[in-house]
Structure 1
Amino acid sequence: MIGSRFKIAAALLTAAAFLFGGSMAYAASPDVAPSLTFSMLTHQEEGFDASIQIPILVGTGNADLEAAVNARSLEASVALYRDFMSKMAELKAEGSKNYALTAVSKVAAYGDGLLTLEHSRTEAMASSETVVRYETIDLGTGRELALSDLFKDDGYSKVLSGIVKAQMKEQMKKDESKSYFLDELEKNFEIGKDQPFYIESGKLVLVFNQGTVAPYSMGTCTFEIPTKEIQGSLAPSQNRLR
């Protein structure tokens, strides 16, 4: 436990240097795009391995925005590390080993005043599972956008669900290796405000984590939504999709 606290404290100190020092000193340049640097939380012992990146955003030219985003990232990374330590303790008590956790982040998309960070977490025991989360930040306001912010009312859920299912059917028709849980999705499938997404080159992309809409073997599934098919559902102020 002492070692765990020391690793967390060291990572906190490193991240704090950027939160309250490095980001404040950054001078904006029109030729510099936002990017990530990293601190780390790690744990290695026989049968157990954790490697967790703490992403530190730089290069936006907005120190307050960077501090807010980095504080959220730090909190999430430390919580993930503590979850790993708790699960490791449970497995040890059961006499089990062989558990690994890896968490990495990257810039997924940047443009039109938006920055999207991709946070990927992979847990491995007898098998592995990867969960991806996207954080889309409005660089003008500093707000993290939810999918619902792009649309004028809740009707977007039905529209997007229909588009995604149509694309699934078309993919399965063209490629026999593609397989989706269409029978189940026809009965109970609703895209909500917490749906993972990002916007790249003016296109909305929906992301479904491993095992949610297709067998695990298909991994993470993405669907690009044609803007013309959602034009009538977009919020009046929404001009990023084209």
Structure 2
Amino acid sequence: MNIKSKYKNYPVKVMAFGALSGLLLTAGAQFLFAHTSAAAQPPASAASAKTVSISAGLQSAVKVTTKAFNEKTANYNATLQIPVIAGLLDKQYQAELNDMISRHAMEDFTVIKKQANDEAASLKKNPDAGYEFHPYEVIVQYELKSDGSRGVNGILSLKILTYVYTGGAHGSTRVDTYNVRNKTAAARITLKDLYGNDYRKIVNAKISAAIAKDPESYFQDSFKTISDGQSFYVQDGRAVIVFQQYEIAPYAAGIPEFNIALPGHKSNAPGNLSSLNVIVNGKTLQSSALYANEEGIAMAPLRSIASALGYKLNYSAPAHQVELSKGGTTLYVQINRDIYWTDIMPEFTLGAAPALKNNQVYVPVSFFTKVLKAKAAYSTDALTITSASK
């Protein structure tokens, strides 16, 4: 592979860790960090493989297993879930990609381990330094966004999250994305490949419009244009543009992501969506019109449907946030931002941001199936949603 690196630091307390971050473009993937030195691999006793079930019904789907590495001492805790890809048509590229992903994770761990041990040793020599040592932490997790099968046009898209805590109020998470065209000769997928020569104009306009709807969540005038190697992943007929923490928004805003439908992507929503009735657990809801957003995603009123499913809702106008609770579980959605989370799970996305329309909060229909675990089905005249227990 022809590898080119351009390093870019992010505001992470651990500067050595930040120095490992950069932009790496390869023949078949997009990365947000690059390492060039070899790192020690985990001992055989520390690594194990666990199969992850993905898109079982699709032919030629790439398979992903997890190589787990865990190490905990008084100074640090490492929990690495390293993806191992199998099933790419280009076996050489697959081997190089797997090796690179593994080395990156282990090198990040090596940096954090050294810094934790060095700081702990320094404090032992100087116990009057004026602050308390807290164990460092590094966690690596991944999300398979597109499995490289014919059903997703041969696109393999992988998102890797690296969380690091080095003391203070909170840690910091870095996002790295890999996008590969699954062909005999694997090809890197770029935004230009997806949107054509005007990709920058198209993507910039979408992001600027999204920020304009919720300007308080972003640094003023922080976004001008996407970078040449802008991070993104592909999922469900859309590209999701990803920015790092602090890049265009404060820490409280999380990791900014913007969904943009791919050219030619057909909406899964029925053409007569706005005329459909909404039936929840056998009862037809009143004043619960559906609509399709600009990306063609079916949107449904949150309060009426969630209430019919047994959830209590509380809306905070200052925070532009809705809180849903049921059976000891609390879920949160934020207006104009494709961010959803619970009191026990980190943030996740659904491809569309909650929106205010006709004084109602609307969410994608997938919110009820993927988050509230209800069942949903379209018929010629209705969207029927049923609690999983029924």
Shift of 1:115: 0.5
Measure the CA separation in 1 of the matches of 2:46 and 2:95.
14
Shift of 1:33: 2.2
Match of 2:191 in 1: 147
Name the SS for the 2:146 alignment partner.
Answer: strand
Larger Rg: 2
Note if 1:212 corresponds to 2:247.
Answer: yes
Note if 1:119 corresponds to 2:189.
Answer: no
Summarize deviations over 1:78-113 as a string: whole Å, max 9, x none: 221221222223322432332111011231223111
Measure the CA separation in 2 of the matches of 1:70 and 1:57.
6
TM-score, reference length from structure 1: 0.70
Q: In structure 2, give the amino acid aligned to 1:128.
A: G
Shift of 1:149: 4.5
Percent of aligned positions with the same letter in both sequences? 21
Q: 1:85 aligns with which of 113, 128, 146?
A: 113
Q: Which structure is richer in relative contact order (CA contacts within 8 A, separation 6 or more)? A: 1
Shift of 1:206: 0.6
Q: 2:73 aligns with which of 42, 45, 53?
A: 45
Q: What is the aligned-residue RMSD (CA, Å)?
A: 3.1
Measure the CA separation in 2 of the matches of 1:171 and 1:223.
12
Q: In structure 1, give the amino acid aligned to 2:256.
A: C
Shift of 1:129: 1.4
* C-alpha distance 205-138 of structure 1, shift in aligned 2 (>3 A): same
* C-alpha distance 30-61 of structure 1, shift in aligned 2 (>3 A): farther
Summarize deviations over 1:192-239 as a string: whole Å, max 9, x none: 1221111223322211222222221121221112456xxxxxxxxxxx
Match of 2:236 in 1: 201
Q: In structure 1, give the amino acid aligned to 2:212.
A: K
Q: 2:176 aligns with which of 113, 121, 133?
A: 133
Match of 1:109 in 2: 146
Higher helix content, 1 or 2: 1
Q: In structure 2, give the amino acid aligned to 1:101.
A: V
The question of whether the paired residues in 1 share the 8 Å contact of 2:46 and 2:69 is answered with no
Alignment map for 1:219-234 (pairs within 5 Å): 219-227=254-262
Q: In structure 2, give the amino acid aligned to 1:210.
A: Q
Q: Structure 1: 5+ residue runs without aligned partners?
A: 1-6, 18-28, 173-177, 229-241
The question of whether the paired residues in 2 share the 8 Å contact of 1:148 and 1:193 is answered with no
Q: In structure 2, give the amino acid aligned to 1:8.
A: Q
Shift of 1:61: 5.4
Note if 1:170 corresponds to 2:198.
Answer: no
Note if 1:157 corresponds to 2:200.
Answer: yes
Note if 1:34 corresponds to 2:62.
Answer: yes
Match of 1:66 in 2: 94
The question of whether the paired residues in 1 share the 8 Å contact of 2:42 and 2:69 is answered with no
Shift of 1:118: 0.9
* C-alpha distance 70-93 of structure 1, shift in aligned 2 (>3 A): same
Summarize deviations over 1:6-31 as a string: whole Å, max 9, x none: x835259969x9xxxxxxxxxxx964
Match of 2:41 in 1: 8
Measure the CA separation in 2 of the matches of 1:14 and 1:43.
10
Name the SS for the 1:192 alignment partner.
Answer: coil
Number of residue pairs the alignment of both structures matches? 202
The question of whether the paired residues in 2 share the 8 Å contact of 1:11 and 1:40 is answered with no
Shift of 1:64: 3.1
Name the SS for the 1:189 alignment partner.
Answer: coil
Q: In structure 1, give the amino acid aligned to 2:221.
A: E
The question of whether the paired residues in 2 share the 8 Å contact of 1:147 and 1:193 is answered with no
Measure the CA separation in 1 of the matches of 2:235 and 2:243.
16
* C-alpha distance 206-30 of structure 1, shift in aligned 2 (>3 A): closer
Q: Structure 2: 5+ residue runs without aligned partners?
A: 1-39, 50-56, 124-132, 264-295, 297-390
Measure the CA separation in 2 of the matches of 1:40 and 1:14.
5
Measure the CA separation in 1 of the matches of 2:217 and 2:58.
45
